[in-house]
Amino acid sequence: MTAKKRWLSHYPEEIPSSIDYEERSLQSYLKEAAARYPDKEALHFMGKEMTYNEIYRDALRLANGLRKIGIRKGDRVSIMLPNSPQAVISYYGVLLAGAIVVQTNPLYVERELSHQLHDSGAKIIICLDLVYPRVQNVRENSPLTHVIVTSLKDYLPFPKSLLYPLTQKKNISTITNRNDKNPIIAFAELTKTADNNEIVLDIDPKKDLALLQYTGGTTGPAKGVMLTHYNLVANTLQCRTWIHRMREGEERLLAVLPFFHVYGMTVVMNLSIMYAAKMIVFPKFNSRTVLKAVSKHKVTLFPGAPTMYIGLTHDEKIEKHDLSSIKACISGSAPLPLDVQQSFEKLTGGSLVEGYGLTEASPVVTANPIWGKRKTGSIGIPWPDTEVAVLHSSGELASYGEIGEIIVKGPQVMKGYWNRPEDTQASFKDGWLLTGDMGHMDEDGYFYVVDRKKDMIVAGGFNIYPREIEEVLFEHPAIQEAAVIGIPDKYRGETVKAFIVLKEGHTVPEDDLSVYCRKFLASYKIPQVYEYREELPKTAIGKVLRRVLSEEEKQKHENNNGC
């Protein structure tokens, strides 16, 4: 199967169709940034500034500390941290030690944490003091040999570092002084006392793993996606090429997307390190805090998620902040509503475009040109050296406008799933990665996602894609967020239910919503049931969890039927 690359004619002249990929380790970019820009600020965190030299020094110390307690090339080290200096230092420190990073969501409950530790075989976990109780509860029956604990206060400036422990129930000293039979190590102590000697490693970028990134586990236990140094370097270089107006050593990126998610890891952390940019780091998103930071630090690049841009555009204080420094934003994880895109661009003067990716592709596959032709509702065109096509149910490539499964090829595509050869084999067809997303391509080579294959609703024999209905609901002036799922129906098999979050101060009756939807949707697609909510369940990057909504509905259905 060969895709016709019609999209290449829409590349801005500054973007080549193919680029040279450097076969080098991911961590080498931190070493290079520290050598070229030793005194340049690498990050700002709640008043704390760190230079590239300081980040590299602490990462080397962590790497030497890890080697001292037995970590060797190929061992797995779990990092369970929110965005913070420690998250950056840990990520690159693990790589400098020759180990494989296992990013672990700090919000994981014990069941999810236990599964990931066992599946990855992680020997060490680096975690925040606030999540240590969960680690402690699963540690005894896990492969962990050591736990390294840190606190946000470890990298806070005076006097915040003194005040922080007063607000916490536990602190590092009470944890590390425990008489547990297995060692607990203080992160701050390790990065102060360990050597900062460089460790000589024999890395094969195309074969050696840099990362095990676990999927969301929506269709079963979460799987570890094996991403090599080459995969991650390639996607970061593609990102740098796409944002072709970036200036090395001069950009300031808003780092609010979580680094433990592959999107934030690549388009914020790795891109910043590769281009010696300054990261303005936040452990979580808060619209008011972000507005102040953009204005104060003159943020130039803001990779984010639609819920973040929605939150900012609806903040009543937005007009009081200067956002004109923002040059570019790439939005991912969910559909970007047109009114949000237009409002945000009007407020900033920058360009906000929608892109698409998945964990198995490091993650970015396509995006609309930031300074070029873009199409509303489209996820854009493939990045350099990336092939994308649509596979029809017949097994052949689909024609223009025909819906099928989106398939991908490129240097950023994973090596496979960790210890799951059958799942790996099932995810590829003739060298193409099967994404599980349904979509189509237009005659210009721009792609559109209609929905996840597994989220499709079959009602009365009709295939219904929730995303299409959600996009219509997003355009209603009273609606801030919407999510659509299929629920059991004795006549149609399934029917459509919409969960609605209204804008503050707005109300709209269900009947009015149905009348509104009827203007834009076929009758069989119109929601039959509405539920108003204060908020919707989301992932750490703001993607609505339809799975959670479906599980809630399933439980209601079973309870109502006496199960």
Query: Does residue 166 surpass a pLDDT of 50?
Result: no
Q: Pick from 183, 202, 221: which residue ends a domain?
A: 202
Nearest to 93 by CA among 186, 30, 185: 30
User: Are 447 and 460 within one domain?
Assistant: no
Q: What is the mean pLDDT of residues 155-183?
A: 61
pLDDT given at position 219: 45
In the structure, what pLDDT confidence band is assigned to residue 558 with cuts at 50, 70 and 90? confident
Say whether both 408 and 541 belong to one domain.
no
pLDDT of residue 218: 44
Secondary structure percentages of the chain, helix, strand, coil, to 5: 35, 25, 40
Final residue in a domain of this structure, among 436, 452, 468? 452
Q: Which of 287, 290, 303, 288 is closest to 251 using CA atoms?
A: 303
DSSP 360: G
Binned at pLDDT 50, 70 and 90, residue 163 comes out as: low
Choosing from 452, 487, 509, the residue where a domain stops is: 452
Which CATH number covers residue 247? 3.40.50.12780
Segment 145-171 shows an average pLDDT of 75
Average pLDDT over residues 170-190: 71
> Using CA atoms, how far apart are residues 13 and 263, in angstroms rounded to an integer?
26
Based on the fold, state whether residues 512 and 474 are members of the same structural domain. yes
Pairing of strands 41-45, 48-51: antiparallel
Task: Kindly state whether residues 438 and 416 are assigned to the same domain.
Answer: yes
What number is the average pLDDT over the span 521-541? Answer: 90
- What is residue 165's predicted lDDT score, i.e. its pLDDT? 56
Phi and psi, residue 465, nearest 5°: -105, 115
Are residues 381 and 520 located together in one domain of the fold?
Answer: no
- What's the domain count of the chain? 3
* pTM of the predicted structure, to 2 decimals: 0.85
Torsion of CA 104, 360, 363, 63, to 10 degrees: 40
Residue 175 within any structural domain of the chain: yes
DSSP state of 102: E
Query: Is 210 within the bounds of a domain?
Result: no
Q: Range with the lowest mean pLDDT among 164-173, 253-262, 270-279, 342-351?
A: 164-173
Query: Is residue 414 domain-resident?
Result: yes
- Which pLDDT value is given to residue 243? 97
- Choose between 171 and 300: higher pLDDT: 300
Q: Are 280 and 368 part of one and the same domain?
A: yes
In a domain? residue 235: no
Angle of CA points 490, 526, 493, to nearest 5°? 20
CB 263 within 8 A of CB 357: yes
More confident residue, 302 or 333: 302
Which tokens belong to 271?
């891109």
68 secondary structure, DSSP code? H
Position 301 in a domain = yes
Mean pLDDT of 148-163: 81
What type of residue is 309?
Y
Q: What is the pLDDT of residue 447?
A: 97
Residue 493 forms beta bridges with which residues? 489
Q: The domain spanning residue 88 has which CATH number?
A: 3.40.50.980
CATH number (domain holding residue 486): 3.30.300.30
Point out the least confidently predicted range of 190-194, 391-395, 449-453.
449-453
The 3-class secondary structure across 220-273, one letter per residue, is CCCCEEEEEHHHHHHHHHHHHHHCCCCCCCCCEEEECCCCCCHHHHHHHHHHHH
Across residues 363-392, what is the average pLDDT? 96
Mean pLDDT rounded to a whole number for the chain: 91
Same domain, 419 and 464: no
Residue 463, pLDDT score: 75
Structural domain boundaries, residue 178:
28-202
The mean pLDDT of 516-523, rounded to a whole number, is 90
pLDDT band at 168 (very low <50, low <70, confident <90, very high): low
Which tens digits make up the pLDDT trace of 274-292?
999 999 999 999 999 999 9
461 in the same domain as 436: no
Consecutive H or E run containing 313: helix 306-313
Domain shared by 463 and 409, yes or no: no
| pLDDT at residue 353, as a whole number | 97
Provide the pLDDT for residue 393. 85
Give residue-wise pLDDT tens across range 302-314. 999 888 998 899 8
Mean pLDDT of 382-392: 97
Q: Higher model confidence: residue 40 or residue 109? A: 40
Average pLDDT score over residue span 340-350: 93
Instruction: Specify whether the CB–CB gap between 409 and 386 falls below 8 A.
Output: yes
534 contacts: CB under 8 Å, gap ≥ 6:
501
- Output the pLDDT for position 365: 98
Give me the residues paired with residue 213 across strands. Answer: 103, 225
pLDDT at 134 > cutoff 60: yes
Residues 286 and 318 grouped into a single domain: yes
What separation in angstroms does the CA of 482 have from each of 355, 476, 478, 505?
20, 10, 11, 17
The residue among 550 and 169 whose pLDDT is bigger is 550
Locate tokens 């923002």: which residue?
326
- Average pLDDT for 108-133: 94
Indicate if 311 and 184 belong to the same structural domain. Answer: no
Cis peptide bond prior to 363, omega within 30° of 0: yes
354 has pLDDT over 70: yes
The fraction of the chain above a pLDDT of 90, given in percent, is 75
276-294 burial, b at 16+ Cβ within 10 Å, e below that, comes to bbbbbbbbebebeebbebb
Distance CA 62, CA 195 (A): 8
Clarify whether residues 398 and 313 are in a common domain: yes
pLDDT, position 252: 98
| 16: in domain | no
Nearest by Cα to 433 from 453, 416, 452: 416
Task: Decide if pLDDT at 267 tops 70.
Answer: yes
By the 8 A CB rule, do 450 and 457 touch?
Answer: no
pLDDT score at 176: 58
Kindly report, residue by residue over 192-211, the tens digit of the pLDDT.
Answer: 889 999 999 999 999 999 99
Does 21 fall in a domain? no
In a domain, 233, yes or no: no
